[in-house]
């Protein structure tokens, strides 16, 4: 078997044996496809560490960042370790390749004023505006990932208790509270807009004009549209709204463990990165306010 066939076998292994999500499988397929384009459809045993190094160098020359290269190298390592276990190759050619050094980039949050303008941007006299406002309000109120938001089902929202149950990474569900303002927008959407969009037995919470599930890219476009309307100069993405949720909670005095649970982070260390941004806020306030600062 040549490289392309082994890549297909590996992706099938990840899908069946490890039950990885489609987005994760797509990322692996993209990284392995880049390798196949770089070396050709050769026998896996013909691939050396020099091929891997030249692929990473080509990526860097084309503008790949360190985090993208590190992610790709991690995916390639998993593939070649699979080939070693299958006794297709004797040694992993990525073993001697150093992982690109990553800088300690802190998540950037929107200011509270920017968030306020973004939340106020949708036109509530239109059906799309009501739906979009409900989505943006919910994302900021609950810190959902964009995939979690667009894959919410009707049954995942409990209006009586004021909670939502998104399914996060590793198919793990968690319970997240929803604020009163977001609940009001959701109630308006559910009562006045969604019934006109829904097909029979439609179970997604947020629906497109055709009655199907909204896609991730569609929500990206929605966020950017309202950022332009709100005249927000800073670059914006759905994930930045999630960063803003966590940062504003911690600045308001929320417990770190509670924020971890709401974000769905398996490791507290992932949530702790937000304490650096809140510390910067505290230092700035101190510098402006203390007479001896």
Q: pLDDT tens digits for 200-258? A: 888 999 999 888 888 888 999 999 999 999 998 888 888 888 888 888 887 777 777 77
Catalytic residue among 10, 28, 131, 145: 145
Catalytic residue among 131, 240, 242, 243: 242
Candidates 177, 149, 143, 142; CA nearest to 162 is 177
Are 204 and 153 in contact, with CB atoms under 8 Å apart?
yes
For the stretch 84-101, pLDDT in tens is 999 999 989 988 887 776
242 included as an active-site residue: yes
Q: Is the dihedral of CA 268, 179, 120, 204 positive or negative?
A: positive
Is residue 134's pLDDT more than 60?
Answer: yes
Candidates 32, 234, 31, 268; CA nearest to 115 is 234
Q: Which residues of 25-55 are buried (b: 16+ CB within 10 A; e: fewer)?
A: eeebbebbebbeeebeeeebeebeeebbeeb
pTM: 0.61
85 included as an active-site residue: no
Q: Can you give the residue ranges of every domain in the chain?
A: 3-85, 112-289
pLDDT, the chain, mean: 84
Catalytic residue among 108, 239, 251, 281: 239
CATH 3.50.30.10 assigned to domain 3-85? The reply is: no
Q: Which of 13-22, 56-65, 276-285 has the lowest mean pLDDT?
A: 276-285
Is residue 107's pLDDT more than 70?
Answer: no
Is residue 8's pLDDT more than 50?
Answer: yes
Is residue 172's pLDDT more than 90?
Answer: no
- CATH class in words for 112-289: mainly alpha
Count of Cβ atoms closer than 10 Å to residue 139 Cβ:
23
239 included as an active-site residue: yes
CA distances from 94 to 52, 54, 56, 88 (A): 7, 12, 11, 15
Cα 81 from Cα 92, distance rounded (Å): 6
169 included as an active-site residue: yes
Torsion of Cα atoms, 123 then 128 then 133 then 135, to 10°: -170
Candidates 170, 22, 6; CA nearest to 82 is 6
Catalytic residue among 169, 213, 251, 281: 169
Confidence of residue 195 (pLDDT cuts 50, 70, 90): very high
Q: What is the DSSP string of the chain?
A: --HHHHHHHHHHHHHHTS---HHHHHHHHHHHHHHHHHH-S--GGG--HHHHHHHHHHHHHTT--HHHHHHHHHHHHHHHHHHHHTTS-SS-TTTTPPPPPPP-PPPP---HHHHHHHHH-S-TTSHHHHHHHHHHHHHHHHT--HHHHHT-BGGGEETTTTEE--B-GGG-B--EE--HHHHHHHHHHHHHTHHHHPPTT--BSSB-TTSSBPPHHHHHHHHHHHHHHTT--S---HHHHHHHHHHHHHHTT--HHHHHHHHT-SSHHHHHHHHHHHHHHHHHHHHHH-TT-
């Amino acid at each position: 078997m040549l490289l392309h066939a082994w890549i297909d076998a590996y992706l099938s292994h990840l899908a069946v044996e490890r039950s990885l999500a489609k987005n994760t499988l797509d990322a692996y397929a993209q990284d392995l496809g880049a390798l196949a384009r770089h070396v050709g459809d050769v026998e896996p045993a013909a691939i050396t560490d020099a091929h891997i190094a030249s692929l990473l160098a080509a990526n860097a020359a084309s503008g790949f960042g360190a985090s993208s290269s590190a992610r790709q190298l991690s995916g390639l390592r998993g593939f070649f370790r699979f080939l070693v276990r299958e006794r297709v190759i004797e040694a992993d050619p990525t073993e001697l390749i150093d992982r690109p050094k990553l800088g300690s980039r802190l998540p950037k949050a929107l200011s509270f004023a920017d968030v306020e303008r973004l939340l106020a941007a949708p036109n509530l006299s239109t059906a799309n505006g009501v739906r979009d406002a409900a989505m943006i309000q919910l994302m900021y109120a609950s810190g959902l990932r964009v995939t979690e938001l667009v894959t919410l089902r009707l049954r995942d929202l409990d209006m009586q208790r004021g909670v939502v149950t998104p399914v996060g990474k590793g198919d793990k569900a968690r319970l997240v509270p929803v604020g009163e303002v977001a609940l009001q927008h959701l109630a308006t959407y559910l009562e006045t807009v969604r019934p006109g969009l829904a097909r029979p037995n439609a179970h997604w919470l947020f629906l497109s004009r055709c009655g199907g599930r909204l896609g991730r890219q569609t929500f990206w476009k929605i966020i950017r549209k309202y950022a332009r309307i709100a005249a927000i100069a800073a670059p914006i993405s759905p994930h930045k709204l999630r960063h803003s949720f966590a940062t504003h909670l911690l600045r308001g005095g929320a417990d770190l463990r509670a924020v971890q649970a709401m974000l769905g982070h398996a490791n507290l260390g992932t949530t702790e990165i937000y304490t650096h941004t809140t510390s910067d806020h505290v230092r700035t306030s101190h510098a402006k306010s203390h007479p001896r600062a």
